[in-house]
Every structure is written in structure tokens, then in C-alpha cells.
Amino acid sequence: MSLENKTILVTGGAGFIGSNIIEYLLKKNNRITCLDNFTTGKRENIENFLSNPHFKFIEGDITNLNDCNLACQGVDIILHQAALGSVPRSIENPLKTNDININGFLNILWSAKKNNIKRIVYAASSSTYGDSKKLPKIENEIGSPLSPYAVTKYVNELYAGVFSNLYGLELIGLRYFNVFGRKQDPNGAYAAAIPKFIKAFINHDSPIIHGDGSQSRDFTYIDNVIQANELAATTTNKNALNQVYNVACGEQSFLNDLVEELKSLLSEFDSEIKNVEIQYGSERIGDIKHSLASIKKAEEFLQYQPSHNVKQGLKTAISWYWEYFSNKA
């Protein structure tokens, strides 16, 4: 079902995932409120929306209950993307991660209740699977968390269950698996792997893999995430509500193979890139070794079907980044 002609709050809307969701929803005649404080989001991600009469921006913080209440006024649906991401950042600053990811989420839930908003779709995380060795990852089989970030995202799921049972809210959690694509920030200490690797190759710098590169991930293109949010926001299947779902491609990509694929694709733009060497660094504390999602539950309950496999997503993302860095030069 298509999400059209609704008033939607997107928290974290100036971030990578949030701004892509907003761009998509504005094209479908929705009225969007974006709440962001630019802790990790970027003004450039929402600049093109500011002249749109159907877009309203509130510079505010989800840890501030008044900001959340203001953002929730007149809203039909909430797509909660705001969070302080990154496992390494959470290890360095667990207090801030907890405040934003748990207290901020609770503020959104409470504000939704006060403003009679029933449907909330929230960004959960594959980090919730923790030390579970089982592959593929199935929603009802998780391990112990390996980082403060993982703890916070699991607590979100617990709070969602409580608010559903106590207050009748309709909550759906989407456990994202290593999302990548246009607008993902390649800069900074906590940049995700794919944009970081792409930037290094374009600059003829050696990308650094943490560990020996034998670790694997289920990399997920941004358009698959947009699709999952739309399906979760519009589903009329009562059995689909108050559940969590893996959002992924269902493909296991090993980092060594991924980097070689990036090198090959980027070499089509610049032949010198094929000569760039790969470097290896120490493993990162709190990282899982392997990740692969089962997407059967999302397929069954939400009719989720990834529009892009990993290679299709990489090709599209690389074209965007090549243009992005060309314009920055």
C-alpha cells in the first residue's frame, strides 16, 4: 500500500536515512514534519525541502519532551529514525548514547500517546542479535548485546512492547542491517564502511579494513529501507503490528569481497583506482563477526521485497558518490 496524503513526523530527518525517506514521501503528496538537532544530521540533506510548502522543519531534540510534543501536533504517523548511531561511539560515550536512544525514544512514545498518534514505525538494529552465532538471524532468536548501542536498541523494542500493551499504540520495529546509499556521510571517525571505502578509493588512499576482512555483513541499500518504512506505516494486517522485522537483502557479503567489488566498480570511473592497495587494521571492540538476515518474516507480514540486491545498490551508490565528490572538488 502506498503512503500518500498523510501528515508524517520523521525524527532524525536531516540524517542519511531520514532525509531519503522525506524525499520519497514528499513526492507522494505527504505533509512532512522533520525534527532534528544536527548532532549527526546535516543541513545540506534537507536544504532542497525547505522551499516545499508541505515540509516543516523543527530544530529540536528528542531528549527534550517539549520539542517532541510540538513535533507531534497534528501528525498521523511517526517514522522514528533519530538515534545516536555507531557501536564504537557508544563504547566511548555510553551516557550520551543511552540518553538519546532510550530517553529520546521514550519521549517520542509518550508524545505520540498524548497527541493520539497510533502508528509508530521505529528504526531498530541488527546489533540486537549480539553474540548469537546463528545464521541467518531470525527475529525471535537473539543473543546478549555486545555494546551500549545494542543495549539501547533492544530497550527500544521492550518499550515498544510495553506501550503497545498498555496504551494501544501500533508499533513496528525495523531492524536495519548495514544500510548504505546516497547521502551517507563518508567523513568522520564514525563513518560507515561503504562510504568510507568509496571516499578512500576516489582519493587514491588505501581503505582500511578492521580485522582480516573475513567478517561478513548483510549490506542493505537505502531504497529497501524506504520500502520497509512505507509498508510498515500502511499495513492493515493486524498480525503485522507490534512486531520487529529484519530489513536487509538476505545476502552475506564478506568485507574482502566487498572492497574488491568497490574497487572494480570505481575503476570504471578512474582506472588508477585498480592500483590502490588495501590496508588492514585491528579488530574493533563490540563488532560482530558475521551478520546475515532472514527476511522471511518481513516478506510474509509486510510483503517486503528488496528492490536492490547488494551489487545493484553499490552501482547506484557509487554513481551518486562520484558526482558528489566531483562537485566538492
Residue pair 35/62 in contact (Cβ under 8 Å)? The answer is yes
Q: Kindly report, residue by residue over 52-111, the tens digit of the pLDDT.
A: 999 999 999 999 999 999 999 999 999 999 999 989 999 999 999 999 999 999 999 999
Q: Kindly report, residue by residue over 261-301, the tens digit of the pLDDT.
A: 999 999 999 999 999 999 998 888 777 788 999 999 999 99
Report whether pLDDT(175) > 80: yes
Report whether pLDDT(329) > 70: no
- The region of weakest confidence among 10-19, 132-141, 316-325 is 316-325
Report whether pLDDT(229) > 80: yes
Angle CA 285–286–288, to nearest 5: 115
- What's the CA gap between 225 and 310, in Å, rounded? 13
The whole-chain average pLDDT of the chain stands at: 94
The residues annotated as belonging to the active site are: 149
3-state secondary structure the chain: CCCCCCEEEEECCCCHHHHHHHHHHHCCCCEEEEEECCCCCCHHHCHHHCCCCCEEEEECCCCCHHHHHHHHCCCCEEEECCCCCCHHHHHHCHHHHHHHHHHHHHHHHHHHHHCCCCEEEEEEEHHHHCCCCCCCECCCCCCCCCCHHHHHHHHHHHHHHHHHHHHCCEEEEEEECCEECCCCCCCCCCCCHHHHHHHHHHCCCCCEEECCCCCEECCEEHHHHHHHHHHHHHCCCHHHCCEEEEECCCCCEEHHHHHHHHHHHHHCCCHHHHHCCCEEECCCCCCCCCCCECCHHHHHHHCCCCCCCHHHHHHHHHHHHHHHHHHHC
> pLDDT over 70 for what percent of the chain?
98
Q: Kindly report, residue by residue over 36-47, the tens digit of the pLDDT.
A: 999 999 999 999
Report whether pLDDT(15) > 70: yes
Report whether pLDDT(327) > 80: no
How far from 214 is each of 29, 218, 297, CA to CA, in Å?
Answer: 45, 13, 28
Domain locations in the chain as residue ranges = 7-179+222-250+293-308
- Read off φ and ψ for residue 225, nearest 5 degrees: -70, -40
Q: Kindly report, residue by residue over 246-266, the tens digit of the pLDDT.
A: 999 999 999 999 999 999 999
The CATH number fitting domain 7-179+222-250+293-308, selected from 3.30.300.30, 3.30.429.10, 3.90.70.10, 3.40.50.720:
3.40.50.720
Q: What pLDDT is recorded for position 328?
A: 67
Report whether pLDDT(326) > 80: no
* Residue from 285, 296, 136, 319 nearest 217 by CA: 136
Q: What pLDDT is recorded for position 1?
A: 74
